[in-house]
Structure 1
Amino acid sequence: MSYTGPDFEPSQPHRSPLRRALTVAVAALVPGALLGWGVYAAVGGPGEGDGGGSGRAGGAGTPAAPSSGAPASGAPASSPGDGDGDGKKPAGSSPAPTSKAPSASGPALPASGPLTGKVVVIDPGHNPANFRHASEINRKVNVGTHWKECDTTGTATNAGWPEAKFTLDVAHRLRTLLQEQGATVKLTQDGDRSFGPCVDERARIGNEAKADAAISIHADGSGAGNRGFHVIMPGSVHDGAADTRAIVAPSAELGERVAGAFVRVTGTAPSNYLGDGTGLVTRTDLGGLNLSTVPKVFIECGNMRDRTDAALLTSGSWRQKAAQGMSEGIVSFLRG
């Protein structure tokens, strides 16, 4: 930037003592400032990351997700799923994934903030290594009202980027945002298991943590042209080991707040194929909800099999917005 004006005219022949003193002081400070900048540059300043300039994409070492049109990396394409294992392509038929580097830093300690004392459980749907354990994830488990498969491989973009990597990346981003608000955050899995956990254990983790709120993160595998997100809330179930009656109302409030914040922050429209344009769906067949004793919702962030949605889901900056929308909804719910 250039400046003009009397303060920036060439020096006059005669300087006052005060001006001479200021000149000496500036001359002494400049080398120190340059040295400080050199040290900063050598050790590295704040990274840009892939999170829309936030640099908060989970722990250090978490692999960057691809841009739209990512190469195939190991999850199968699938039919529309429910985010809890049903309807998504069974394990055992996917190509080998690229190597996955787990988070190196682990979860940070919660900061003080408006959510101090609150516990949030984040459930990143599926597991990138599930396809290697077909017999284990096809094992039936009791989900209260019926028996179903332990888990599935999840879906993938047409280019092969797996839902399980998407969910874990968003979970890391969401964890960071909630911890900055003071919350204690627990993940059901953090790339630290060879498969699973099964859907019944995912619910149990939230229950045992006595979570004030729990959210299961997914992306759908519906047909091309089906776009948008939807939040799934538990319906009233009282059958066998399932009893959701106490959590139906608070879960509905959590779902509504998450959906509202998600629209506002991401600019993404609610699903055009489920929820009648509200982005809200109630279900009674999902074990992860039926077995929960704490307020819980699922969110299907978009349709990985639609090219337009896939371009969003594979964008790091959009995933940061998705995490921010979820965080704002959860914070709003917990603060009342």
Structure 2
Amino acid sequence: MRQRHWKSLAAICGALLIAGCGHSVAAAPTPDAHARPVLDSPAAPVVPIAGQVVVLDPGHNGGGADHPDQLNAQVPDGRGGTKACNTTGTNGADGYSEHAFNWDVAQRVRDALTLRGYRVIMSRDSDTGVGPCVDERGTLGNRVGAAAVVSIHADGAPAGAHGFHVAYSSPALNDAQSGPSVQLATALRDTMVGRGFTTSTYVGSDGMDPRADLAGLNFSERPTALIECGNMRDPGDAAVIESPDGRARFADAITAAIAAYLN
């Protein structure tokens, strides 16, 4: 009697599993481990970048020429010496100023990185002021915990010398300078070449220029590099530097390089 009772219960449960429980299990979706999220737009980041801070340092400043005493004041150079707070920068043969070029390109890079989700901090907020001094620019990334710091410049060499180069602090003064800063500089160099820009014919080697005399690089404890986008005194470089399309190309390359390094 008891045996027949348990057999009956087993038969009933089996029927329930087929009719009911089996249906419930089949209805539960199995997660796809290889499924990828759909990005909302081409500007959406490939990897999470929330919290990453990028410092952009557009070299010089538009009001410096009217305040030579402030520009010539001596500040620490990061290697035990001193140097001038800053300079006015260079200019093209037609008077187009480096500080204006630096500011234009930096704003374009800032806007592009912001659209990608980065938090961008600029070393100056206009092109009409004085400073900051080079030591303050060099420590800004340290103060805000920057994931990358890029200083944007153009050069003033004799006509005929042309091309861009990327500087980094050498000999290195800390771990960030010995590894990450070189990697950031390399990303800038490689991306610029990939976008059709020519490496310098007159400074450094293969577009790379290790420097010990730049306070903005020496003071940094974050990955930091400085790019000289071209020679403003060379007609070929100047034509690109002074055109809106050329400045957009520089900004696109710098933006892509920073994103590539951080990702």
Give distance in 1, aligned partners of 2:69 and 2:117: 40
Give distance in 1, aligned partners of 2:178 and 2:54: 17
Q: Which residue of 2 aligns with 1:222?
A: 157
Q: Does 1:268 align with 2:215?
A: no
Give distance in 2, aligned partners of 1:244 and 1:176: 31
Give distance in 1, aligned partners of 2:143 and 2:215: 16
Higher helix share: 2
Query: After superposition, what is the alpha-carbon deviation per residue over 1:156-208, rounded to whole angstroms, capped at 9, x for unaligned?
Result: 00000100000000000000111111100000002166201000010121110
Q: Which residue of 2 aligns with 1:294?
A: 222
Q: Which residue of 2 aligns with 1:156?
A: 91
Q: Which residue of 1 aligns with 2:122?
A: 187
Q: Which moved further from structure 2: 245-254 or 297-306?
A: 245-254
Secondary structure (helix, strand or coil) at the match of 1:123 reads strand
Counterparts of 1:136-155 in structure 2, within 5 Å, are 136-145=70-79, 146-155=81-90
Contact 1:126-1:154 at 8 Å conserved across structures: yes
The residue type equivalent to 1:331 in the other structure is: A
Contact 1:244-1:291 at 8 Å conserved across structures: no
- Listed as ranges, the gaps of 5+ residues in structure 2 are 1-42
Q: Considering only CA atoms, is the larger Rg found in Structure 1 or Structure 2? A: 2
Contact 1:174-1:323 at 8 Å conserved across structures: yes
Secondary structure (helix, strand or coil) at the match of 1:136 reads helix
Give distance in 2, aligned partners of 1:291 and 1:268: 29
- Listed as ranges, the gaps of 5+ residues in structure 1 are 1-110, 238-242
Percent identity, aligned pairs only, is: 41
For residue 253 of structure 2, the aligned residue among 311, 325, 335 is 325
Give distance in 2, aligned partners of 1:262 and 1:310: 17
Give the direction of change, closer, same or farther, for the CA distance of 1:306–1:192 in structure 2 (3 Å limit): closer
Give distance in 2, aligned partners of 1:152 and 1:223: 19
For residue 197 of structure 1, the aligned residue among 127, 132, 148 is 132
Secondary structure (helix, strand or coil) at the match of 1:247 reads helix
Q: Which residue of 2 aligns with 1:314?
A: 242
Q: Which residue of 1 aligns with 2:23?
A: none
Q: Which residue of 1 aligns with 2:108?
A: 173
Contact 2:168-2:177 at 8 Å conserved across structures: no
For residue 63 of structure 2, the aligned residue among 129, 141, 147 is 129
Q: Which residue of 1 aligns with 2:141?
A: 206
Contact 1:302-1:313 at 8 Å conserved across structures: yes
Contact 2:163-2:200 at 8 Å conserved across structures: yes
Question: How far did residue 273 of structure 1 move?
Answer: 0.8
Question: In angstroms, what is the RMSD of aligned CA positions?
Answer: 1.4
Contact 2:103-2:127 at 8 Å conserved across structures: no
**TM-score, normalising length: structure 2:** 0.80
Question: How far did residue 298 of structure 1 move?
Answer: 0.3
